[in-house]
Each structure stands twice: as structure tokens, then as C-alpha cells.
Amino acid sequence: MRRTGEEPGEGPEPTDVQDAAGTGAAFSALLEDSAEDLYESAPCGYLSTLMDGTVAKINATLLEWLGVEREAVVGRARFADLLSVGGKMYHETHFAPLLRMQGELSGVALEMKAADGRRLPVLVSSRVKRSSQGEPLLIRTTVFDASDRRAYEQELLRRRREAEQARADAERAHAEAEAARRQAEADRERLTDALAVLQQSLVPSALPAVPGLEAAAYYHTASPDRLGGDFYDLFPLSKGRWAFFLGDVCGKGPQAASLTSLTRYTLRAAALHDPEPAAALTTLNSVLHERYATSGDPRYCTVIFGVMEPCGDHGHTTVRLASGGHPPALVVRAEGRTEYLPTPGGLLVGVLAAARFSTTQTTLGPGDTLLLYTDGLTEARTGPTREHLFGDEALQRFATEHAPATPQEMITALTGLLESFGGGLDDDTALLALGVPATHPNAHPATKQQA
């Protein structure tokens, strides 16, 4: 019989009724669990102790965690006996006194001792049960397994310690790097100072005053960390006669400095014995070849050697030159003309046992300047890409633009030119300029007017 208003086919289906009945039966079965079963199989540990800590009741969950039998615990052990040594000390000194004072504690971290020796981290909550008159009767305690939490905390602690250690290592490494940097800077400064002193010992500290002549020099060091191999000198031979030389040895560093020192002193000694320029270079060639080539470590240098002496009473000076593979000297005349002074036939000094050198000669009049230089000047790299060498022609044009010029004026102009090269100047450069003053006291009147 249908209810009023129901159309045919409406109302609960038979399967829906059956499902509802099955669900109700399942809930009824769950509700049939006894309180004792819920206590014994709870997902946490339960135990009740007398006020002195003697275990009066303990559930199966906690017994399983500890791996002990009920008979060995109930009435035989105190709660503190189930704890580790550290946990027992904390229980006696903190947990139990606070519990007696407050009546309850919650979430206290302790460590229990299993039968197999394992340590079980737990969170313990306890409450004192009292009589109707307020007298304490027993203590109910809930125990939660905190192994996962302990592992998580230990992992966090480990990561924190690792992070702190990494930070400390980084700070220590930074401090060590900073100390090393400061030490390296100090060492470099000391090395630079030492090299500067040694470099200065390879060239005159100042050029001597030459009667009737002017002289100026400049030395550019490409790197303060390396000893260069360029050298020059100016020294008297006899009354009115002066010798000079300028050159460049192969290599850099201490070995080049040793070769430079040997070359300078050999040329000075050779000039005093025989002032002929070609003879001085021949002597130097023999010394270098015997010292280095015969020992299997050939070393050589390029050098231009000259002697100056006055000629006549009109302020003119004769210059005799010999070159050993060195760039030619450049003469800047008083009337503004410039020319290279060729010295053909000059071989590298020290390469061959018997090298031949030839001598050339020129005369400097009032206002004329003789310029000697090493190849660091002409081989300086120019242009945006540093692909082109400055070269001999550019040097002559530069000298012509600044002619006429005294030795000091020419050196000053060339110093500015070297600075303009910037990073393109990657080799040491030595400059030596010698000249006759335009107002020489013995100059012929016509010469003075021309100058």
C-alpha cells in the first residue's frame, strides 16, 4: 500500500535499505568493545601506580613496548624502575615532586628502558586520583611513544649542528682567506720593494754631469713583480771623453738580472782597456759566450755602445757607435730633422764565439740630440685591439713632431707616450738621450742662429 502522494516507482529501493542495515550492524559491532579491551589495546601506554610509585595496573600496549611480562611488573616494580638511568634521576628530582605539588603533569619527555636494553623515548602525562575527602589514592599515567618525534628532533638538531659547523667553517675559511690575502699583499709589497731596489742597482741612480753635454734617461718597468733586463750607463773614460751604452738582455727575473750585471761591468772594464766601441762589444761577446754558451745555457743581449768626445772649438761632439743586434739610434737635429743612425753588421752579443761588429760615426752640433731606446718602445701594441706595433716609423714621426728638443724634453715627451700605451706596453723600456746644448759656449755664431 503506497503512502498518499507517492507515485508508482517512488520510495526507498531495497538495496538502499540493505546497505543501511549493514552499516548499522558494523557500528553495533564496534560498540561491543569492552572498556577493558579498549584499555589493553589502546594506541598508547596506560599504567596506574600507588602513591609510592608501585605499579598497580599496566596495559598490554606498554608491556609490549617494554618487552616485559605483566607478572614481572605489577606489584613488583615501581614506575621509576621502568625508566632509564637519566629518566629515573629526572623522575626523582623533578617529575615526582612537581606531580605531588600540582596533582598533574602533561607531556613530560622521559626515557623508558626495555627488557632488551633499548631506550624508548616517551611523552608522559600523569594525574593524581583523589578520594572524596581529597586524599591522594593513586597515580594514573599515559605514555606516548615519542620515537618518531625524538628521531625528528635529533635530525633537526643534527642539521642545525651541521649548519652551524658549515657556517663556522665558512667564517673560518673566510678569515683564513682574508689573512692569506693580507699576507700575500704584504709579501708582494716586500717583494716589490726588494725588486725595485735590485732593479735600481742595475742602472745608474743618476746620470753624471758631463761638461758641454746634456743627458737624460728613463726606465719603465712593465711589471713590479719581475726584474727587467734593460740597462744603460754613462761614465767617463778620460779627460773630455765619455762612454755610454744601452741594451736589453734575454729573459726576465733573477737570471736576467745576473746577465745584466755581468754585461754592465764587462762593458765598463772593456771600455777602460780599449775604448773602441767594436772592441768593447767583442770583449763582451767573448765573456758571455764563454760563460753561458759553453755550459749549455746560451744567453745573449742586444746592446749599443758609444764614445763621445768634443771636436773643434764650435761646440761639436763626435760620437762613435757600435751595435750588437740593437735598434738603431735616432738623431734629432737642431733644425727639426730626424734620422736613424745605421749600424750595420751588428750580431746578437753572446750567440757566436767569433762575432764581428762595425763602428759608425756622427757629429752632434749645438741643439742636436741622440736618442737610444730598447725595443719595448717600438714593440708597444697600439690600436683598439692592440694588434699593431708602434714601430720605427711612428717613433721617427713622433720625434720629428717634437724637434728640436733637448735630451730632457725628448725624454719627457717619450715618457708621456709610454703612459699613453697603457696595457699595450708589456715590456720594459729604457731610454737614454744625449745632446749638445743649443747655447754651447763654444758654438759658432752661425750655428747658434740656426739653432
Distance between terminal CA atoms of the chain? 146
pLDDT value, residue 15: 59
> In 10 A of CB 386, how many CB atoms?
14
Sheet holding 241-249, edge to edge: 230-238, 241-249, 301-311, 316-324, 359-364
pLDDT value, residue 61: 93
pLDDT value, residue 255: 82
Percent of the chain with pLDDT over 90: 59
- Say which residue the cell 754558451 belongs to: 293
Whether 375 and 325 have beta carbons less than 8 Å apart is answered as no
Please state the rounded mean pLDDT for residues 251-266.
Answer: 86
> Which residue did the predictor score with more confidence, 442 or 379?
379
Note the pLDDT tens digit of each residue in 60-116: 999 999 999 999 999 999 999 999 999 899 999 999 999 999 999 999 999 999 999
Write the CA distances from 108 to 22, 136, 144, 154, 323, integer angstroms.
44, 21, 10, 17, 98
DSSP run (H or E) holding 348: none
pLDDT grade for 426, boundaries at 50, 70 and 90: confident
Please state the rounded mean pLDDT for residues 39-53.
Answer: 92
pLDDT value, residue 444: 44
Instruction: State the Cα–Cα distance between residues 430 and 407, nearest whole angstrom.
Output: 14
Whether 374 and 246 have beta carbons less than 8 Å apart is answered as yes
pTM of the predicted model as reported, rounded to 2 decimal places: 0.60
The yes-or-no verdict on residue 129 having pLDDT over 70 is yes
Strands 359-364 and 338-341: unpaired
- Say which residue the cell 701594441 belongs to: 381
Instruction: State the Cα–Cα distance between residues 417 and 288, nearest whole angstrom.
Output: 34
Instruction: State the Cα–Cα distance between residues 368 and 311, nearest whole angstrom.
Output: 15
The yes-or-no verdict on residue 141 having pLDDT over 60 is yes
pLDDT value, residue 155: 84
Please state the rounded mean pLDDT for residues 277-306.
Answer: 91
Whether 247 and 284 have beta carbons less than 8 Å apart is answered as no
Instruction: State the Cα–Cα distance between residues 252 and 333, nearest whole angstrom.
Output: 35
pLDDT value, residue 256: 82
pLDDT value, residue 226: 66
The yes-or-no verdict on residue 142 having pLDDT over 50 is yes
Please state the rounded mean pLDDT for residues 256-284.
Answer: 92
What is the separation of C-alpha 215 from the centre of its chain, rounded to a whole number of angstroms? Answer: 44
- In residues, how long is the chain? 451
pLDDT value, residue 234: 96
pLDDT value, residue 293: 81
| Set of cell numbers at residue 271 | 771600455
The yes-or-no verdict on residue 7 having pLDDT over 60 is no
> Which residue did the predictor score with more confidence, 445 or 136?
136
Instruction: State the Cα–Cα distance between residues 9 and 104, nearest whole angstrom.
Output: 63
Whether 74 and 55 have beta carbons less than 8 Å apart is answered as yes
| Set of cell numbers at residue 308 | 763621445
Note the pLDDT tens digit of each residue in 397-414: 999 999 999 999 999 999
DSSP run (H or E) holding 92: none
Could you give phi then psi for residue 290, rounded to 5 degrees? -70, -40
Instruction: State the Cα–Cα distance between residues 293 and 351, nearest whole angstrom.
Output: 7
Whether 365 and 334 have beta carbons less than 8 Å apart is answered as yes
Could you give phi then psi for residue 103, rounded to 5 degrees? 90, -15
- Whether the bond between 277 and the residue before it is cis, its omega within 30 degrees of 0, is no
pLDDT value, residue 191: 60
pLDDT averaged over every residue in the chain: 86
Note the pLDDT tens digit of each residue in 202-245: 678 899 999 999 999 999 987 766 666 889 999 999 888 999 99
pLDDT grade for 9, boundaries at 50, 70 and 90: low
C-beta pairs of 6-14 under 8 Å, 24+ apart in sequence: none
Percent of the chain with pLDDT over 70: 86
Instruction: State the Cα–Cα distance between residues 174 and 183, nearest whole angstrom.
Output: 14
Instruction: State the Cα–Cα distance between residues 321 and 306, nearest whole angstrom.
Output: 4
The yes-or-no verdict on residue 448 having pLDDT over 90 is no
Instruction: State the Cα–Cα distance between residues 450 and 151, nearest whole angstrom.
Output: 102
Note the pLDDT tens digit of each residue in 297-311: 888 999 999 999 998
pLDDT value, residue 283: 95
Please state the rounded mean pLDDT for residues 47-51.
Answer: 94
The yes-or-no verdict on residue 135 having pLDDT over 60 is yes
